[in-house]
Amino acid sequence: MICELCGRETDNFEYVIVDGAVLTVCPSCAKFGRKVKGMKARGINLSALSAGKGGDELPEPDTILVEDYAERIRNARMKMGMTQEQLAKKLMEKESVIAKIERGDMRPSDKLARKLEKTLGIKLFERLDEIEGG
């Protein structure tokens, strides 16, 4: 092994941190840097220097009901030539529920909104990070 500071060949090298970089140095150069704690000469793992991270799993993306859900549902239903009653039957809901949703008086439950998306072929949810401010 070659010392990265003085370039001398050494069998007894150490790992030290100099200006944030991990260097392999001979014992006489080790005093120029901070010794890397708990790091063995073999199997150096630089990622161990960074703060430990949590689990690997990403949280579920936040999705919210679109603001114009009422309009989207009504437009899609009318495009398909369905009455509120027909749509309600398809979704096994009350006609009054569909009417309220289309007026914007009632927000559909997540479950119902998913059914509406499928039945009408529309998108009712959007990810929070896709929404632009303003």
Note the residues at the interface with Zn ion (CB under 5 A).
3, 5-6, 25-26, 29
Least distance (Å) from Zn ion to the CB of residue 20? Answer: 19
Angle between helices 95-103 and 69-79 (to 10 degrees): 120
In terms of CB distance, is 15 or 69 closer to Zn ion?
15
Write down the H helix ranges in the chain: 69-79, 84-91, 95-103, 110-120
Least distance (Å) from Zn ion to the CB of residue 28? Answer: 6
Least distance (Å) from Zn ion to the CB of residue 29? Answer: 3
The whole-angstrom separation of Cα 13 and Cα 23 is 10
The whole-angstrom separation of Cα 134 and Cα 132 is 7
Least distance (Å) from Zn ion to the CB of residue 4? Answer: 8
In terms of CB distance, is 12 or 83 closer to Zn ion?
12
The whole-angstrom separation of Cα 4 and Cα 42 is 16
108 phi and psi angles, rounded to 5 deg:
-65, 150
In terms of CB distance, is 6 or 44 closer to Zn ion?
6
In terms of CB distance, is 34 or 118 closer to Zn ion?
34
